[in-house]
Chains A and B, each alone.
Chain A
């Protein structure tokens, strides 16, 4: 992943004072032409993802497809079992009594949509990932507390250890800039 000229570095990590400073910084870094970067904050900040060029996640589509597949398969299973495989005469009701299949179809829709959403989140985010180069920076522990961070990867074509550091240090409300060991 690391760029050829700086094999020892994963990237740069800048810390900011506040959520608003992180939003501004993300915009400025994007406008400067960087593409491989990410924000890190103790709680979600939608504007950072917007500035990163990730205006819409895939989760909605994943869950919709998961839910539809679950509901369809569920309904077909109920129909096949009750009509074809194991027809039971219950109080003279028709074998294909579809309205009686709705509750289970609904439950399977919710279950499969939820499971696919969670699996989708983990898969798309590449989690579980217990090790990440960012964890090498001690200050990064504040990303789950009160720190707002912006990381720029060395894999970014525009990345250069010295000039990127200088650029990040020039951003408003920056607290510190550290190199992230690979």
Chain B
């Protein structure tokens, strides 16, 4: 797939040549090469790689599945799905939680790691934030279409109306509407603010009139003024500071959707931290899945080095262990609490009709990620890609295991089975198509990495400021 190497980088990067001491920027980069390497893709100077077309066309094809799935659903109603008594939360909710969890790693990278002075975040934050936005878009579809009458979705929000009715503010489902919409809005603002100086670069170096106009409008007349930068950095820092507790609150509220109910094994205090750890785990798997193609197709190996993959893999391993602890804790609490219902539900989960999904979850989320302890699996892209894929499957099954818990109630007469239908799968894989399509368009038309922050990361001798100093500069 590596058909294209980025132009204007001089000699091809050798493995032992780095611009900085921390081995985060390969080759000999300067302010100019950084801008050209990232910006030329947007300006159409780099021929579109074959891999991009495969990703875009695959995504666009799957997007049609989403359209068909939604049309079918809207025409006939949620009866086309597999949901029925006793399982009213089917794969739509699994997909919702799966997507929104993936989104959280983007915020972690851009906000939390910024506050922690992690320089390596700089190569990843832009595309990880885009991943967040697109994942939240995909996530947002599912609760809406799950309502049965999605055209009344605005009833979730408080507004004076002639029915004199208001939302029920004590319900986590109502909190969810606020949490997810706030999360999307704040992520969008953070992403756009970060893009403004990069748009200014693209405006000033556009090759065609149309690029100049479009990027010029998006840049809003940014001219790199020191006064503007001062405010900009303060805003950037404060948005990171707000984004950090926001991401925790969002997934905590998502877990409240389950935990505030009184279903055995859902009604657990471990749920909020367990969900947040799982979200970051899944999100880093997706970051790895996106970083590897970007490295290959667009020759970004100098800017996303092996060290970045290594660190992402380690975070995935660490959060994976937290998630595994969550599985252990669930079983332990069920046993230790001596609650008949908790323990019986645990046994049903492990050895009942859906026991296979529980053990698949343990295999893909707990056992396979242990391979990352070996350096070979952190540094070899192909192997790391496979392990990340295992995490994607595992995190999907984690939520699946949670919802099929509903098949076994307190009263055996109300037990049932659940299986998704074709209509479920159309929407599920269709949402993946939406994500791939949006991400492919992002790769082509917007700077995949932050040009501004990468320049700042350059060492002094290469014209930079030796790392993002937002904590010191933001006043």
- The chain A residue with its CB closest to the CB of B174 is A104
Report whether B193 and A118 are in contact in the complex, using a CB–CB cutoff of 8 Å. yes
Q: Any chain A CB within 8 A of the CB of B103?
A: no
Contacting chain B: which of A2-10, A124-132, A165-173? A124-132
Complex alpha-carbon distance, A82 and B432, angstroms: 39
Shortest C-beta distance, B191 to chain A (Å), equals 11
Shortest C-beta distance, A37 to chain B (Å), equals 9
Partner of B205, one of A107, A129, A145: A145
Q: Any chain B CB within 8 A of the CB of A39?
A: yes
Size category, A interface: 35 or more
Complex alpha-carbon distance, A19 and B226, angstroms: 12
Partner of B166, one of A86, A103, A144: A86
**A46 in contact with B32 given A125-B231, A127-B220 (CB within 8 Å):** no
Contacting chain A: which of B11-19, B126-134, B196-204? B196-204
Report whether A130 and B216 are in contact in the complex, using a CB–CB cutoff of 8 Å. yes
B223 surroundings in chain A (CB, below 8 A) = 40, 132, 134-135, 140, 143
**A59 in contact with B238 given A42-B201, A43-B455 (CB within 8 Å):** yes
Report whether A114 and B201 are in contact in the complex, using a CB–CB cutoff of 8 Å. no
Report whether B189 and A81 are in contact in the complex, using a CB–CB cutoff of 8 Å. no
Considering only residues 34-77 of chain A, those with a C-beta below 8 Å from chain B are 38-46, 48-49, 52, 54-60, 63, 67, 77
Complex alpha-carbon distance, A106 and B204, angstroms: 40
Considering only residues 217-233 of chain B, those with a C-beta below 8 Å from chain A are 217, 220-233
Complex alpha-carbon distance, A149 and B224, angstroms: 9
Chain B interface residue count, Cβ-Cβ cutoff 8 angstroms: 69
**A144 in contact with B228 given A42-B31, A56-B475, A104-B175 (CB within 8 Å):** no
- The chain A residue with its CB closest to the CB of B180 is A107
Shortest C-beta distance, B193 to chain A (Å), equals 6
Report whether A40 and B178 are in contact in the complex, using a CB–CB cutoff of 8 Å. no
Shortest C-beta distance, B214 to chain A (Å), equals 12
**SS of B interface (majority):** helix
Shortest C-beta distance, A11 to chain B (Å), equals 13
Q: Mark B253-266, 1 if CB is under 8 A from A, else 0.
A: 10010000000000
Q: Any chain A CB within 8 A of the CB of B7?
A: no
Shortest C-beta distance, A13 to chain B (Å), equals 11
Q: Any chain B CB within 8 A of the CB of A152?
A: no
Q: Any chain A CB within 8 A of the CB of B249?
A: yes
A32 surroundings in chain B (CB, below 8 A) = none
Q: Mark B163-185, 1 if CB is under 8 A from A, else 0.
A: 01111111110110011001001
Report whether A114 and B465 are in contact in the complex, using a CB–CB cutoff of 8 Å. no
Report whether B465 and A45 are in contact in the complex, using a CB–CB cutoff of 8 Å. yes
Report whether B227 and A125 are in contact in the complex, using a CB–CB cutoff of 8 Å. yes
Partner of A117, one of B174, B222, B238, B464: B238
Complex alpha-carbon distance, A55 and B35, angstroms: 29
**A103 in contact with B465 given A90-B168, A113-B242 (CB within 8 Å):** no
Report whether B200 and A144 are in contact in the complex, using a CB–CB cutoff of 8 Å. yes
- The chain B residue with its CB closest to the CB of A103 is B175
Q: Any chain A CB within 8 A of the CB of B22?
A: no
- The chain A residue with its CB closest to the CB of B35 is A145
Q: Any chain A CB within 8 A of the CB of B452?
A: yes
Report whether B226 and A122 are in contact in the complex, using a CB–CB cutoff of 8 Å. no
Minimum-distance CB pairs A-B, first 10 = A46-B473, A128-B220, A39-B226, A44-B229, A129-B221, A146-B31, A141-B204, A49-B230, A48-B226, A59-B234
| Contact sample, A vs B, 26 pairs, CB 8 Å cutoff | A42-B31, A42-B455, A45-B465, A45-B473, A46-B233, A46-B472, A52-B227, A60-B234, A63-B238, A85-B166, A86-B166, A88-B168, A104-B178, A107-B179, A107-B182, A107-B249, A110-B186, A114-B185, A118-B235, A121-B235, A125-B225, A129-B220, A130-B220, A135-B223, A141-B205, A142-B204
